[in-house]
Chains A and B, each alone.
Chain A
Amino acid sequence: MPLLSVENLRIAFHGRERVTEAVKGISFSLEAGRTLAIVGESGSGKSVTALSLTRLLPEPPTCQVTGAIRYRDRNILDLDRRGLQALRGKEIAYIFQEPSSSLNPVFTVGNQIAEAVRLHLPEVKDVQGRVVEALRQVGIADPERRHSAYPHELSGGMQQRVMIAMALACRPRILVADEPTTALDVTIQKQIIDLLRELRGSAGMSVILITHNFGIVQGFADEVAVMYRGQIVETGPTDEVLRRPRHPYTRALIGCIPRLGARQHRLSTIDHAAIAREMAAQE
């Protein structure tokens, strides 16, 4: 039985003038200890999907979520406020794209991690020890000293490590990483992805990686779900999807990544009209 399964999820935003359907009936599942990548462009509905997993979206009537999100025999969409609070952070934790705006500038990083620990794991006596341990886990040198640093004293890569430490301090079952490396330099991107890969193994977590870049998916995710205009157009094991993409959109998305040493004359771009034609033809 999968750890998390999403069934026919629909998310609609009710504006003043019109209703926007951001997610149009998607289903996917995540096994314990596995990594799923949701790949798509901005506007595909991938980030909204990630937020909906612990209902971090605006309340109805602004935002209507239907379908089912099953996590260990419970439907997250039926949980009350208390149930959600117990779920968020402790069972399912997040890291976001902009570490600098996800951290509170007026508290030390140690303080912020300790806060998360106290909230979710009141049984832990040695909070300070847990904080230092979490910082060491994410590869921050000299954690005894660094935990009293303020966010602005750290570089972008270090801030993202702190975010990961905060997410990991409560040992969640699922880590949702929403574009965790997009705002970072390429060299730092690689370090963060390597770190996530290592932690996933040692902590036995499942990971949902949300990204627009197929480049970081390979070698990291076990499965891929490609999202396009609110729908999942293709799913499968990562290597298979990358090697033999079946959907025209997947092919186009892989094609537009610039590659080292292959100085092709032009990068291929996504021709949405052609994709629509092919999709119609396939049906």
Chain B
Amino acid sequence: MTAPATPAAAPLLEVKNLKVHYPLRGGFLKRVVDHVRAVDDVSFTVARGRTTGLVGESGSGKTTIGRALIKLAPISGGSIRYDGSELVGLSNRAFLPFRKRVQMIFQDPFNSLNPRMTIDGIIREPLDLHFPAMSRADKRDRVAALLKRVGLEPEHMHRYPHEFSGGQRQRIGIARALAVEPEFIICDEAVSALDVSVQAQIVNLLQDLQAELGLTYLFIAHDLAVVEHISDHVLVMHQGKLVESAPAEEIYREPKDAYTRRLLDAVPKLAV
């Protein structure tokens, strides 16, 4: 299942003409009358070891793209090449190795952790799944190390999610994503629900982890200021279509699309 060796310059992810269309049913027999074009003919690449920002408002299709990449949304057409292998059309079984390499961090820190599981159980779940041969003690050590790495105490592993603040829960979500040593992490609005002060901590943590582990990020958010700050390259989505794709500095300095300008304009300016 190993992909052919690719030069470091080749993008890690190459998405071509991706389409996610949901059928709209109507009438007496529930026939398909039309489609909602959640993602309509979108192509982009994600460079290895870099952060690609994906920005747009709710309903723009940015979250659907993130989900389609890991087979959580039905793909109607197009191709997704990950490290040289085609992902579209793979069976669940054939896709499993990629689930270890690609992880996701979710938006809502209050909803993304099972309230009935201890922190240990939550972080161990992907380990149980992808490292069945690992011993119990090794897993325990790994969970402790991960908690430490994201800025929490190893003693926290026996607690439940409701005992933690929003920022701490997001750290737990990051530890869970890191557990299986992925190379690519999709951050789906990972900091949008947090206070600005906590948001800064999480953004810094993500950047530190990237420098340390050589991670590749797809950073999905609606706030251009955060996206511009963390990303090397920025993609702008509007109504299911990609309207602009440019390096982060360029997006800020000379936005080409009218919608990008509107997004820039909406960011509160702090004249200090």
Contact = CB atoms under 8 A, between A and B. Distances in A.
A214 B268 CA distance: 9
Contacts of B229: 258-259, 263-264, 267
B228 A186 contact: no
Interface stretch (A101-109, A167-175, A187-195): A187-195
Given A156-B58, A258-B225, A260-B224, A253 B272 contact: no
A264 B253 CA distance: 16
Interface string B179-221: 0000000000000000111111101100100000000000000
B78 to A, nearest CB: 26
Interface string A192-213: 0000000000000000000011
A260 B197 contact: no
A185 B221 CA distance: 9
A269 B200 CA distance: 6
Which of B198, B204, B222, B268 gathers the greatest number of chain A CB atoms within 10 Å?
A: B268
A269 B204 contact: yes
A234 interface: no
Contacts of B225: 257-260
A270 B196 CA distance: 10
A42 B204 CA distance: 20
Interface stretch (B18-26, B79-87, B134-142, B257-265): B257-265
B269 A260 contact: yes
B57 A253 contact: no
B196 A253 contact: yes
A256 interface: yes
Given A188-B57, A242-B270, A258 B200 contact: yes
A213 B263 contact: no
Contacts of A188: 57
B270 A187 contact: no
B8 interface: no
B57 A252 contact: no
B252 interface: yes
A189 B268 CA distance: 9
Contacts of B272: 242-243, 254
A254 B271 CA distance: 11
Interface residues of B, number: 37
A185 B57 contact: yes
Contact of B203 (A190, A218, A267): A267
A3 B203 CA distance: 41
Of the four ranges (under 10, 10 to 19, 20 to 34, 35 or more), the interface on chain A belongs to: 35 or more
Interface string B236-266: 0000000000001100110000000011111
Contact of B195 (A212, A259, A260): A212
Contacts of B222: 185-186
A258 B165 contact: no
A257 B196 contact: yes
B199 A256 contact: yes
B166 interface: yes
A75 to B, nearest CB: 33
Nearest to B198: A41
Given A242-B270, A243-B272, A258-B226, A190 B198 contact: no
Contacts of A41: 195, 197-198
Contacts of A257: 196, 200, 225, 270
Nearest to A40: B195
Given A242-B270, A266-B204, A186 B223 contact: yes
A267 B270 contact: no
B270 A215 contact: yes
Nearest to A263: B229
Interface in A206-244: 212-216, 218, 242-243
Given A187-B262, A266-B207, A216 B197 contact: no
A186 B252 CA distance: 16
B196 A213 contact: yes
Contacts of B270: 214-215, 218, 242, 254, 257, 259
A51 B35 CA distance: 45
Which of A43, A252, A259 gathers the greatest number of chain B CB atoms within 10 Å?
A: A259
B266 A260 contact: no
A18 to B, nearest CB: 15
Nearest to B229: A258
30 contacts: A41-B197, A156-B58, A186-B223, A186-B267, A187-B262, A188-B57, A189-B266, A213-B268, A214-B196, A215-B268, A215-B269, A218-B269, A242-B270, A243-B272, A253-B197, A254-B270, A256-B199, A256-B200, A257-B196, A257-B200, A257-B225, A260-B225, A260-B252, A261-B228, A261-B252, A263-B228, A264-B229, A267-B200, A268-B200, A270-B197
Interface of A: 41-43, 155-156, 185-190, 212-216, 218, 242-243, 252-254, 256-261, 263-264, 266-270
Given A215-B267, A256-B197, 17 more contacts: A42-B195, A155-B59, A156-B58, A185-B57, A185-B222, A187-B263, A212-B196, A212-B197, A215-B196, A252-B197, A253-B197, A257-B225, A258-B226, A258-B228, A261-B228, A263-B228, A268-B200
